Amino acid sequence: MHGILLVDKPRGWTSHDVVNWVRKRLRTRWVGHGGTLDPAAEGLLLIAVGIATRLIQYAIDADKSYVAHIVLGASTTTDDLEGEPSQVSPASQPPSLAQLHTALERFRGSFEQRPPSYSAVKIGGTPAYRRAREQIPTELRPRTVFVHDLQCLHYDYPDVIVSIDCSKGFYVRSLARDLGALLGTGGYLHGLVRTRIGTLTLSEAWSIPELERCLSPETWSLLAQHPDMLVSTLPVLLIPEQQMTAWYHGAPVRSSETALPETLARAYAPDGTWVGVARYDAVQACWRPVLVHHERH
């Protein structure tokens, strides 16, 4: 079994809960996920099985889309609904819609964002959330993130609903915290739905009740998407028939197709079968296997 399963993760489940559930249903341990969703968050979770687990980084690195419910007028220790209230700032004059739009403009494009104290970012090998639980003072370094699009879908103080298209590493909880700070009201993330990972969308995902009824090793090929969906944005490399033996042995192959140095491509056999990922070696004018997959595996 190889492929990716798009799951609509329910609130209350951890991403690893879904991985373990799929492992038991499919009776295989070769399962992973492509990007953590907090237990309180919902939406698209990518589950990789078999050879697809070796492509997970492409999902982790891909841009994401979310719909978020932010509550102004209060802050929490975790910057979301799960934490304890740390500040309540009822506004005598709630921010106007114009003020909200002006504040949101600060979070578009490239900027430095500080991850939440309760996050999986490691400090000296220890996740930040463990240090936070032990009340060890921790100041996480800001990291550069990029927001392609940020739109206000609804505003009725204290509730703000926004849609976000962003780069990897972006924390929506940090957005809620920083938006509240900028408006002088405090803010925390009340609800979150992930709607897209790269080219894959929530509309394609299966709910847990649906999978409860039909997911098994026998139905896997009917429910899963092909592993090459994870590298669908890479250019295509067609490997000549006479080069296939070399490819399967992990040796460099030559093709009439050339590219810029270090270009990655998804590789296919002459019959259209996906056989892995290659990197172009411009010095030797050849394609070197990065990942080799044989359908018989």
**Where along the chain do its domains lie?**
3-62+199-229, 64-197, 234-292
Q: Name the band, by pLDDT with cuts 50, 70 and 90, for residue 26.
A: very high
> Tell me, which fold does domain 64-197 have in CATH?
Pseudouridine synthase (3.30.2350)
Each residue's pLDDT tens digit, 97-152: 999 999 999 999 999 999 887 555 555 555 555 544 555 556 778 899 999 999 99
Please tell us whether the domain made up of 234-292 is placed in CATH 1.10.1740.10: no
Same fold, 3-62+199-229 and 234-292: no
Distance, CA of 269 to CA of 240 (rounded, Å): 7
Residue 216 confidence (pLDDT) above 70: yes
pLDDT tens-digit readout, 58-103: 999 999 999 999 999 999 988 898 888 887 766 678 999 999 999 9
Active-site residue identified among 8, 38, 79, 80: 38
User: According to the model, what pLDDT value does residue 123 have?
Assistant: 54
Give CA–CA dist 241/249, Å, rounded: 14
- Would you place residue 237 in the very low, low, confident or very high pLDDT band (cuts 50, 70, 90)? very high
Q: What pLDDT sits at residue 183? A: 94
Q: Give the contacts of 184 (CB within 8 A, at least 6 positions apart).
A: 89, 91, 95
Whole-number percent of the chain with pLDDT over 70: 90
Instruction: Give the residue ranges of DSSP H helices in the chain.
Output: 15-26, 56-61, 97-105, 128-133, 172-183, 208-214, 220-223, 244-248
pTM of the model: 0.90
Active site residue 38: yes
Q: Is 3-62+199-229 assigned to CATH 3.40.50.2300?
A: no
Q: What is the mean pLDDT of the chain?
A: 91
